[in-house]
Structure 1
Amino acid sequence: VDAKTGAVQSSAAGTQNSALPHSEDSLLTLAGWGGLGIVAGQSLQWASGETINWASGQDSNFALASHLRIHTGQALGLLSSAQGSGHLKLIANSGPVLVQAQADTMTLAAKAQLKMVSVSGKLDIASAKKIHLAVAGGSAITIEGGNITVQCPGMLTVHASQRSFVGGAKVDYAFSPFPQEGFEVSGKFCFSA
C-alpha cells in the first residue's frame, strides 16, 4: 500500500501543465443503473492508499453475523443529525456496554438534561482523588481525601425523621485497572491478479 501511495502521489491529477484535473493511471469503475452486487465466498477486502468513501442517498446498512471492529490510527468521529431532528443510540441487547478513555479525559456534556439511571441495580460514582458536585447558584459538595465539604451561599435544609452522627469510618473502594489488549496492523495487504 505504501508503494502504491507514492505512485499515486507522483501521478496525481491537477499538475501545473494540465488544464483539467485527471488521473494518469488506469482506473476501475463499477456502475449499475438498477443495482450492483459484489459477493465473495470467503473474504472481501477493500484497501486504498489514500481514501475510501462510502456514500448513499438514503440509508447505509451493515449486517454482521459476528463482530464489528473499527480501528483508527488517530481519531474516530460519530455525528448524528447535523440537520433536522435525530438521535444516536448505543445499545447492547445482552452484555455490558464499556466506554473507556485509557490515556486522557472523558467528557459527558448535554445542552439539556443529563440523566444517569440504574433500573434494577446500583449506581457507583467513585474517584481516586476528588468528587465535586456544583450548580450555577454557588452551592457545592466536595468529597476529597477523608473529608466532605458542603458549601452554599443560602440556606441548608435537611429533612429527616431521625438524625444520627456517629464516629468516623473508612470504606475502601477497589478500582479495576484498564485491560491491556494489543492490536497490531501491519499495513500490508496481499493481492493476486
Structure 2
Amino acid sequence: MIKLPFDLDEWSPGGTSRPVRFAKPYSGDNYGHHFPLIDGAEVAVVFTDGHPDRPVIIGAMHDSLHPDLVNNLNHTRNIVRTAAQNELRMEDKEGIEHIHLTTPHQTSELNLGHMVDGDRKERGRGAELRTDGHLAARGPQGMLLTTETQNGASGHQLDMTGAKEQLQRAIDRMESLTGAIQAAESTVAELRKQKALYAEALDGLKRAAILMSAPAGIGLTSGEHLQVNADQNLIATAGGNFDVGVMHNFTVAAARQIALFAQAQGMRLVAAKQDVIMQARTGAMALSASKDLHLTSVDGAIVAASRGAVTLTSGGAYIKIDGGNIELGCPGDITLKCGNFHWTGPGNLSVPLSAMPIGPCKECLLDAHRGVEAMTEVA
C-alpha cells in the first residue's frame, strides 16, 4: 500500500491504496529477489503508460529521518541489513577486505578476512564461524581438518599430502617393530587393521571418516572429561615418546590380553608407596632373565609358599619341599657352616594363600556368541 503526498484524508491502516506492484531486479516462478518494504519507508512510484491507476514502486529511498547505511565514513563498505539487524557486510578497502555475515539471534556469525568489532577495532584475521548456541559441522562423505599450507587456494580440495606422509610413517614404524616383537615371542599389534584404516577410509576420504592433520601439533583439552572410543581398534603411534600422566588412578583393563614389549632398553615398574600385587589367576607365571635375578626385601621378609612343591635347583643340586617333607640332593658335597646346630621335634607353618576369584568376561561371551551365529549362517 502507498500513500501519495497530496492525499490528506485519514484512512484506516491498509486503506490508503490498492496493493501496488513492486519492481525487483530478479523474479520468476517461485524464485526471485525480495526485501520487504517496512511501513513508513519512502518509495519512488511510476505509472505504467502514464495511467494514474497503474502505479509501480520502482525503489525505496533514504531520507533525513532514515539515513543510508553507507556514508562518507564507511564508503568502502557494501552492506545489506534487514530491519531485524540480520546483516551481510563486504569491505572493499585494500588491506582490510572482509565479509561479515551475522544474525543477532545468539550472535551467530561468519567472518572472512580482516575481522573488526563494532568500533572497527581489529580482532583477528582469517576465518571465524561462531555462535552463542550450538554449532554442528556435518559431512556424510568425510571431513578433512588440516593446518597444512595451500597457498592461494590452489590445489585439490582434499589435498592431504602431509597427513598421508605422517600416516605412512606411523605404519612404517609399527612394521619396523613387528620383527623384533615376533622374535621375542610377544604379541604383535594388528598392523593389518591400521593399514586398512589408512587405505580404505582416510586416504582420499573414501569412507565417512574424519582426518585431522597439523604439522606443528594438535592439542585436546577439557575442563571435565575426555572420552576416546572405537568399536574396533584404537591405534596410537609416536616417533618419539608416549607420555601419560594422571594425578589419581591409572587403570588398564583388557578382556583378553595385555602385552608390553621394550626393544632397546628395559622396563621399570615402581610403586613409591604401598604394595605391588601381580597374579595369574588361571595360569602360570614365569619370571626369567638372561643374567642375574634378584629377590630382595629391605625391611621385611621373603615368603615363598605353594600348595604343591617348591624346588630350588642349580648345577644338578636341589632342595625340594613337598607334602611336608624336605629333600636335598646333589652330585657333589653338602657343606654346613653354622655356630650351632639343633635337632628338635617336628614343626609346622601354615601360610594363607591368596584367593583367586574369576569374574565372567561378558565381552568374551558375546564374541563367542557372534562366532556361533556366523558359523550357523555359513552352514
Q: TM-score range by the shorter chain?
A: 0.7 to 0.9
Q: 2:221 aligns with which of 26, 39, 60?
A: 39
1:41-73 CA deviation, whole Å, 9 max, x = no partner? 322222223222111111111111211111112
Q: C-alpha distance in 1, partners of 2:348/2:274? A: 33
How far 1:34 sits from its partner (Å)? 1.3
Give the alignment partner of residue 122 of structure 1, picking from 273, 278, 301.
301
Find 1:131's aligned residue among 293, 302, 310.
310
Q: Which aligned segments of 4 or more residues in structure 1 are displaced greater than 6 angstroms?
A: 180-185
Match of 1:51 among 227, 230, 233: 233
Asked whether the equivalents of residues 317 and 330 of structure 2 are also in contact (C-alpha less than 8 Å), the reply is yes
Gaps of 5+ in 1: 1-12, 15-20, 188-193
Question: Distance in 2 between the 1:29 and 1:79 partners?
Answer: 29
Q: For residue 51 of structure 1, what is the amino acid of its counterpart?
A: N
TM-score if structure 2 supplies the norm length? 0.40
Equivalent residue, structure 2, for 1:149: 327
Task: Determine the structure 2 residue equivalent to 1:67.
Answer: 249
- Over 3 Å counting, the alpha-carbon distance change for 1:106 and 1:159 in structure 2 is same
Question: What is the CA-CA distance between 1:78 and the residue it aligns to?
Answer: 0.6
Contact 2:309 2:321 in 1 (8 A): yes
Instruction: Provide the residue aligned with 2:80 in structure 1.
Output: none
Give 1:145 shift: 1.2
SS in 2 for 1:94: coil
From 323, 326, 346, the counterpart of 1:168: 346
CA deviation after TM superposition for structure 1 residue 152, in Å:
0.7
Query: Amino acid of the residue matched to residue 49 of structure 1?
Result: D
Q: Give distance in 1, aligned partners of 2:296 and 2:325.
A: 27
Match of 1:94? Answer: 273
Q: Please state how far the C-alpha of 1:158 moved relative to its aligned partner.
A: 0.9
| Percent identity for Structure 1 against Structure 2 | 23
SS of the residue aligned with 2:276?
A: coil
**Distance change in 2, residues 1:78/1:107 (3 Å):** same
SS at match of 1:62: coil
Largest Rg, 1 or 2: 2
Q: How far apart, in 1, do the equivalents of 2:316 and 2:221 lie?
A: 62
For structure 2, list consecutive stretches of 5 or more residues without a partner in the other structure.
Answer: 1-194, 367-379
| Matching residue's letter, 1:39 | T
Give the superposition deviation at 1:115: 0.5
- Report the 3-state secondary structure (helix = DSSP H, G, I; strand = E; otherwise coil) of the residue aligned with 1:120: coil
Q: How many residues align?
A: 164
Q: Looking at both structures, which has the greater relative contact order when contacts are Cα pairs under 8 Å and sequence separation is at least 6?
A: 1
Question: 1:182 Cα shift?
Answer: 7.7
Question: C-alpha deviations, 1:3-25, integer Å up to 9, x for none?
Answer: xxxxxxxxxx98xxxxxx54342
Change (3 A) 1:49 1:172: closer
* Normalised TM-score (structure 1): 0.76
CA distance in 1 between counterparts of 2:266 and 2:317 reads 33
Cα distance in 2, alignment partners of residues 62 and 183 from structure 1 = 27
Deviation at 1:179, TM superposition (A): 5.5
- The equivalent residue for 2:209 is 27
Residue type of the partner of 2:292? Answer: Q
* Amino acid of the structure 2 residue aligned with 1:71: A
SS in structure 1 of the partner of residue 213 of structure 2: coil
From the superposition, tell whether residues 181 and 69 of structure 1 become closer, same or farther in structure 2 (CA, over 3 Å): farther
Provide the residue aligned with 1:18 in structure 2: none
SS at match of 2:327: strand
Give the helix-richer structure, 1 or 2: 2
The answer to whether the 8 A contact 2:255-2:361 is kept is: no
SS in 1 for 2:210: coil
Q: Which amino acid aligns with 1:26?
A: A
**SS of 2:312's equivalent?**
strand
Post-superposition offset of 1:146: 1.6
Contact 2:310 2:321 in 1 (8 A): yes
